[in-house]
Amino acid sequence: MERILKIIIPVYSFVILSGCALKHPDTNELRFPELSHIQLTGGLLGERYRVINETTIFHCIEKCKEEGLIENFSRAAGLTEGDYLGLPNADEFVYKLLKLLLTCWNRITTKNSI
């Protein structure tokens, strides 16, 4: 579980911080750019994003499966029997992973390079 935290927290932080505020040129007011306008094509952040897409996401999915976190949803729905596995708030990790997957999928399908 600790390994999952060490991976998901930085990844989740990266996704959140990618929407930095910018000043509007006419009004000097802060505004947040659309994610579709942000491109990470190289450098440190571009490389980290590539690693996240190519390896980290798949690693997180495998760790959630190994820890039984995904199976907990089948148990909660009554599809399988057994006790809840992991910490009481372990489903939070699966939700964060789903959010990361949807964010990355949206960027891939809309052909954004971030």
Pairwise CA distance, residues 38 & 95, whole Å: 24
Closest CA to 22 of 32, 11, 7, 34: 32
Does the pLDDT at position 1 exceed 70?
A: no
Where do the domains of the chain lie? 2-109
Q: What is the pTM of this model?
A: 0.55
CA distances from 81 to 8, 71, 73, 86, 89 (A): 28, 10, 11, 15, 19
d(CA 101, CA 53): 9
What is the biggest distance separating any 2 CA atoms in the chain, rounded to whole angstroms? 60
pLDDT in tens, 47-82: 887 888 888 888 988 998 898 888 888 888 889 898
